[in-house]
């Protein structure tokens, strides 16, 4: 079955892939839409290699940046309406589009599967415990073929060999980047760092 014929199981999403793609095309710029399509394809490959549900990888990959282009006020409204952690208000779109965006994906697109929603919630900041699906979405976003930054080839090779090692690699490099730029670090990003990075250092040396 090709990706174009994919009909999602009803309990995952009450839309066909084509219907979901149409919703994303409406919500996103052409560039961002092309990115989520590449993330979907990369996530599907990683799912096949790691024994993870391909439909969940497809849905999570396509939806992960659904909220990326929403105005700040939309996120602020959801944070209040759902009584989410008020500390979120100290951050911005970079953190909100995943953590808060997952609520919009649930309510507006009808994604009810918590495994998919958690993967989306964690796609920017990670978590101390990440399912294989969450690791896949986190890595697919980082290594999709449109990404071009120093270290992306190393990230692709490491991830092909060991998904968890890829998570550690990305987490270390993202934290280094944020610190280098003097950007605020969301606490969960540090939690992810502590859970993943030292562990893989020890195993590799």
Residue in the structure block whose two tokens are 């396509």: 62
Angle, alpha carbons 106-8-134 (nearest 5°)? 55
**CB-facing half-sphere around the CA of 40: CA atoms within 13 A:** 22
Closest CA to 58 of 102, 13, 90: 13
What tokens does 38 get? Answer: 């590449």
Asked if residue 152 binds ligand DGI (CB under 6 A), the reply is no
Residues that bind Fe ion (CB under 5 A): 65, 141
Q: Which does 183 bind (CB under 5 to 8 A by kind): Fe ion, ligand DGI, none?
A: ligand DGI
Asked if residue 174 binds ligand DGI (CB under 6 A), the reply is yes
Q: Which does 94 bind (CB under 5 to 8 A by kind): ligand DGI, Fe ion, none?
A: ligand DGI
Q: How far is the CB of 35 from ligand DGI (least distance, A)?
A: 6
Q: Which is nearer to ligand DGI, 84 or 94 (CB)?
A: 94
Q: How far is the CB of 100 from ligand DGI (least distance, A)?
A: 12
Asked if residue 94 binds ligand DGI (CB under 6 A), the reply is yes
Closest CA to 20 of 97, 109, 106, 100: 109
| Interacting positions 4-63 with ligand DGI (CB under 6 A) | none
Q: Which is nearer to ligand DGI, 121 or 123 (CB)?
A: 123
What tokens does 45 get? Answer: 């490959």
Asked if residue 178 binds ligand DGI (CB under 6 A), the reply is yes
What tokens does 18 get? Answer: 């084509």
């Amino acid at each position: 079955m090709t990706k174009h014929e994919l009909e999602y199981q009803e309990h995952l999403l009450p839309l066909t892939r084509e219907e979901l793609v149409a919703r994303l095309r409406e919500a996103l710029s052409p560039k961002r839409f092309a990115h989520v399509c590449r993330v979907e394809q990369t996530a599907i490959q990683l799912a096949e290699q790691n024994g993870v549900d391909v439909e969940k990888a497809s849905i999570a990959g396509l939806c992960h940046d659904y909220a990326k282009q929403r105005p700040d006020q939309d996120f602020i409204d959801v944070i209040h309406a759902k009584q989410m952690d008020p500390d979120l208000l100290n951050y911005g779109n970079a953190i909100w589009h995943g953590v808060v965006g997952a609520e919009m994906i649930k309510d507006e697109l009808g994604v009810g599967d918590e495994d998919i929603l958690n993967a989306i919630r964690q796609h920017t900041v990670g978590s101390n415990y990440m399912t294989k699906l969450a690791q896949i979405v986190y890595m697919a976003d980082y290594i999709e073929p449109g990404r071009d930054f120093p270290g992306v080839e190393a990230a692709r090779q490491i991830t092909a060999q060991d998904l968890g090692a890829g998570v550690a690699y990305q987490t270390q490099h993202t934290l280094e980047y944020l610190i280098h730029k003097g950007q605020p670090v969301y606490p969960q990003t540090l939690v992810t760092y502590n859970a993943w990075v030292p562990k893989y250092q020890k195993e590799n040396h």
